[in-house]
Amino acid sequence: MDDLTREFLIESQEGLDRMERCLTELEELPEDRELLADIFRSVHTIKGTTGFLGFLRLEKLAHAGENLLGLLRDGKMVANAEIISALLSLLDALRGILSNIEASGSEGEGDDAPMIARLQELQESAAEAKADAPEKPKKKRRLKAKKQPKESAMTIQVASPVPESKAIEVYQAEPQVPQPSRAMANTAESTLRVDIDLLNRMMNLVGELVLTRNQILQRVGAESDLTLLSRRLDMVTADLREAVMKARMQPVSHVFSKFPRMVRDLAQQLNKRVRLVMEGQETELDKSLLEAIKDPLTHSVRNAIDHGIEAPHLREAAGKDAEGTVKLRAYQEGSYVIIEVSDDGGGMKVERIRDKALERKLITRERAAQLSDRELMQLIFLPGFSTAEAITNVSGRGVGMDVVRTNVEKIGGKVEIDSRPGKGTTLRLRIPLTLAIVPALIVFSRGQSFALPQGALSELVHLSAEQAKTQVEWMEGAALYRLRGKLLPLVFLDSLLKQREEQAREGEAYIAVLNAEGRRYGLIVDGLADPEEIVVKPLSSVLKQIGLFSGATVLGNGEMALILDPGAIATQANIGMALEEDAHEVIEAGTRNGATEYLLMQSGQEHAAVPLDKVLRIERIPRARMEWLGGVPVLRFEGSLLPLRDTGSAGEEMTVVVCRDGSRHVGVAVSQVLDVADGRPLEEAGTHAAARNVTLLHEKVTSIVPLEVIPALPVQTLEVTQ
Amino acid sequence: MSAIMLAEDVIEMCSVRVGETLFGVPVMRVLEILGKPATHPVPLAPEFIGGLAHYRGEVLTTVSLRRLLKMPPCGSSEDVLVFEGEDGYFGLLVDEVSEVLTVSPADFEGNPSTLDDRRKALFAGTYKLKDGLLVMLDPERLDPVRLTEMDLRSA
């Protein structure tokens, strides 16, 4: 394919996308001149170029459309649902031919006569209808926003016989088309099309640079004259990485833009009335991720309309507006983009979900009786689940929410669902900003390093050699651990990887509690290293076949590590679906009988505590890593600074409990972490005032570390690179 | 193969040593030689995989000639020849890369019938040198994708 044709294809596709958007808007504003001019321009451009390139089918079709659009644009006709439907199917026909050209270089076979005739007919019938309009009102259609034409019947007679104009004649008529605004011209000048392969290559190289930087930062250590330079390298690398990542970003409107049409078509098909509201379309996401969420998102929107929004009469009976609302909202939250699909429909009917799950034998009756409403809702993520009464064109074809979840988790994201009966359902997709660089925890198994993506990691449990022997329980060959009273299936990484033959294992261990595709299990590893941002390198097909690794990476110390795939490990180890959610469990624990849970720590000889819900993570760090800044002890951590409260712990290593204090993070350095316990508030004798910063833990008065008194950092000098 | 034989009078071969045997690969097929890089083992990988090596920002899958020939491990770190295969680059782990030799098509002979089947499938033939034999290796036969298929067939 020559460059000219390729350029033409890209331009035409963009034009048609724009046309589609405009057409759906036109339904609301049938007389908007700007919209009409925009649509006209898209079709006109296609027609002009096709004549030149010799694509005759395209030219004929575009020509027929252009005639009709010309009348609309000049206000000689008013768009109605019928016309818009016809124009939408014209758009589909044009798209079909474009994709033929893209695939084979030629337009392909097809009979366009019916389409052309349909457009022609509309032109004529509209003119007739208009002439008759005063006496005979057109039959009522479902769509509102139908206005009577402004012009009198007289002018139409002049306009209605459309001349069989040739391309060149229409070119002469061109000056009527409003010129594109200045702003548009400017964007065109300041942007540039870049080949996606080149961008991928740049991203790869930046990844390489990040690696080299990590290695340099680890080596520099004490060499003071290099510290400054390495800091700069650190900053420049971070900035460069951000810039390249930005270049790959596209606004979510690229995916959102096809929904107005889809919602319109679906609503018509299902005889429902649906309004689509979109927010945050300018939110940006990596192009490859945008591609990856297209299907899950489409499915979610379909679901919202098919299962969520009720039929108009039911809505009215429930005292709601007959027109339902589906809301698409995108926003950034930290290093994630959240996309919400919410509807104001009937909400999920928990009983129906349970019955369906029982009918399809996805759960047992005993189990169903134990589940809470929230847990029952999670059942929709099970493979093979569908509540659709009948298999329609729209949903119920077995491609269900499990596919949505699998697809989203494949790219390191998460799916959450929230539903209230009678009020509606919200589906929340959490998508990481980028794929190429992921935060991971480095774990050891038999001396070899592996990277565990942090997206799937929910917590870490340390077992001493003694605990590893006594607290891991066996049930006929299946290892289990009691995590807060519930049994957690365990997978031994070393035996899974056949790094050891016999079942017995010695020494201390860590349980990485993972949550992958709704399956919860503990992965037993020998040791942990620092979390690191890793650059994902693909594996060759031969090694991909092993099925447990999603890639490889080079660590800061120059060593290579394979990246573990938590979902694949769960599958291989036959881990079943867990129905409880993590957060849920913690919230429940936190509010149990009015007491708060505290993390009990030892600092020096004294006991201290912090509320458990404030704790983000716990780290063992060499004392030497503590630095001082303006009299405040700080820790440099993944490129950001953590203010520290040192409670006078001793020893080579210290334990840092990273806590949340409002929106900032602070660290509390202690000798060791002891336990988690329920604390009860204490009252001052006599006054009955609740005592501050003191609680009763294990029947002992324990001081609560006041997080808010940890001095803030001078913000201007704070160098946040991640 | 035939292309090589029809070409010039002499062919340049990169000679490599594995154990006691001298092997040769046409120089034109070798993309790069990595001198004793660190290799990283891959658990559960097929037997013939020698591990991963870092190559120009990518992760290179290597095939170990010793493992292919069911020889004991080398004991010291090995050199890697980089080839282009069906599925991107791959490496071949050998004990040591030595000099480039020129051989003549006239000195070429096919695999002897007495060679075991496994080696027959891996070797492309041999060149008679003045002071010994140079076993010809064809990178296409050592491609991990092909080796996997071969393993599946024999299994």
Residue-wise DSSP of B43-60: TT--TTEEEEEEETTEEE
pLDDT at residue B22, as a whole number: 94
Same domain, A278 and A332: yes
Q: What is the average pLDDT across A517-541?
A: 84
Flag if B44 and A497 touch (Cβ within 8 Å).
yes
Same domain, A383 and A447: no
Same domain, A138 and A206: no
**Domain C-terminal end among A559, A582, A605:** A582
A422 vs B138, which has greater pLDDT? B138
Q: Does the residue A545 lie in any domain?
A: yes
Flag if B87 and A541 touch (Cβ within 8 Å).
yes
* A-contacting residues in B 29-68 (Cβ below 8 Å): 38, 40-46, 49, 52, 54, 57-59, 61
C-alpha–C-alpha distance, residues A479 and A495, integer Å? 12
Q: What is the average pLDDT across A432-443?
A: 81
Question: Which residue does chain A place closest to B57, by CA atoms?
Answer: A208
Same domain, A279 and A376: yes
Q: From the CA of B144, how many Å to the nearest CA of chain A?
A: 7
pLDDT grade for A436, boundaries at 50, 70 and 90: low
Q: Does the residue A347 lie in any domain?
A: yes
**Which of A114-123, A660-669, B60-69 has the largest mean confidence?**
B60-69
Same domain, A137 and A276: no
Q: Which of B59, B84, B86 best probes binding to A when mutated, by most A CB atoms within 10 angstroms?
A: B59
Closest partner residue to A448 among B41, B49, B57, by Cβ? B41
Residue A138 pLDDT exceeds 50 = no
Same domain, A577 and A619: no
Same domain, A166 and A202: no
For residue A168, what are the contacts with CB-CB under 8 A and spacing of at least 6? Answer: none
Q: From the CA of A437, how many Å to the nearest CA of chain B?
A: 14
Residue A213 is part of which domain span?
A: 196-248
A223 vs A79, which has greater pLDDT? A79
SS3 A110: coil
Question: Which residue does chain B place closest to A212, by CA atoms?
Answer: B57
Q: From the CA of B147, how many Å to the nearest CA of chain A?
A: 9
C-alpha–C-alpha distance, residues A722 and A627, integer Å? 20
Q: What is the average pLDDT across A241-254?
A: 84
Same domain, A145 and A33: yes
Is B151 an 8 Å CB contact of chain A?
no
Q: What is the average pLDDT across A277-282?
A: 90
The 3 state secondary structure assigned to A550-606 is EEEEECCCCCEEEEECHHHHHHHCCCCECCCCHHHHHHHHHHHHHCEEEEEEEECCE
Q: Does the residue A263 lie in any domain?
A: yes
Number of domains within chain A? 5
pLDDT grade for A151, boundaries at 50, 70 and 90: very low
Q: What is the average pLDDT across A36-56?
A: 78
For residue A137, what are the contacts with CB-CB under 8 A and spacing of at least 6? Answer: none
Residue-wise pLDDT tens digits, B33-91: 998 888 999 999 999 999 999 887 778 999 999 999 888 888 888 999 999 988 889 99
A273 vs A675, which has greater pLDDT? A273
Query: Would you list which residues of chain A are within 8 Å, Cβ to Cβ, of chain B?
Result: 204-205, 207-208, 448, 497-499, 537-543, 545-546, 548-549, 551-552, 554, 558-562
Residue A716 pLDDT exceeds 60 = no
pLDDT grade for A503, boundaries at 50, 70 and 90: low
Q: What is the average pLDDT across A583-600?
A: 52
Flag if B40 and A560 touch (Cβ within 8 Å).
yes
C-alpha–C-alpha distance, residues A587 and A581, integer Å? 10
> What's the gap between Cα B94 and its chain centre?
8
For tokens 């390489």, name the residue.
A208
Q: Does the residue A722 lie in any domain?
A: no
Q: From the CA of B137, how many Å to the nearest CA of chain A?
A: 21
Same domain, A57 and A72: yes
Residue-wise pLDDT tens digits, A160-171: 333 333 333 333
Q: Does the residue A515 lie in any domain?
A: yes
Q: Does the residue A587 lie in any domain?
A: no
Residue A639 pLDDT exceeds 60 = yes
Closest partner residue to B61 among A205, A542, A561, by Cβ? A542
Task: Assign residue A700 the CATH number of its domain.
Answer: 2.40.50.180
Q: Does the residue A476 lie in any domain?
A: yes
C-alpha–C-alpha distance, residues A188 and A169, integer Å? 28
For tokens 């591990």, name the residue.
B51
Flag if A208 and B57 touch (Cβ within 8 Å).
yes
Q: What percent of chain A has pLDDT over 90?
A: 6
Closest partner residue to A546 among B41, B45, B87, by Cβ? B45
Q: What is the average pLDDT across A606-627?
A: 80
Residue A269 pLDDT exceeds 70 = yes
Residue A116 has a CB neighbour count (10 Å cut-off) of 18
Residue-wise pLDDT tens digits, A447-495: 899 999 888 888 899 888 888 888 888 888 888 998 888 889 999 998 8
Same domain, A545 and A458: yes
Arithmetic mean of pLDDT over chain A: 76
Residue A84 pLDDT exceeds 90 = no
Q: Which of A73-77, A622-626, B3-7 shows the lowest per-residue confidence on average (mean pLDDT)? A: B3-7
- Checking DSSP bridges between strand B132-137 and strand B21-26, what pairing results, if any? parallel
pLDDT grade for B139, boundaries at 50, 70 and 90: very high
Q: Which residues of B touch A549 (CB under 8 A)?
A: 42
Domains delineated in chain B = 2-146 (2.40.50.180)
For residue B65, what are the contacts with CB-CB under 8 A and spacing of at least 6? Answer: B18, B23, B92, B93, B94, B142
| Residue type present at position B140 | E
Q: What is the average pLDDT across A526-536?
A: 83
Task: Assign residue A414 the CATH number of its domain.
Answer: 3.30.565.10
Q: Does the residue A228 lie in any domain?
A: yes
Flag if B90 and A540 touch (Cβ within 8 Å).
yes
C-alpha–C-alpha distance, residues A211 and A213, integer Å? 5
Same domain, A209 and A226: yes
C-alpha–C-alpha distance, residues B7 and B2, integer Å? 9
Q: From the CA of A477, how many Å to the nearest CA of chain B?
A: 22
Q: What percent of chain A has pLDDT over 70?
A: 81
Same domain, A8 and A69: yes
Residue-wise pLDDT tens digits, B103-120: 998 899 999 999 988 888
**Domain C-terminal end among A432, A467, A502:** A432
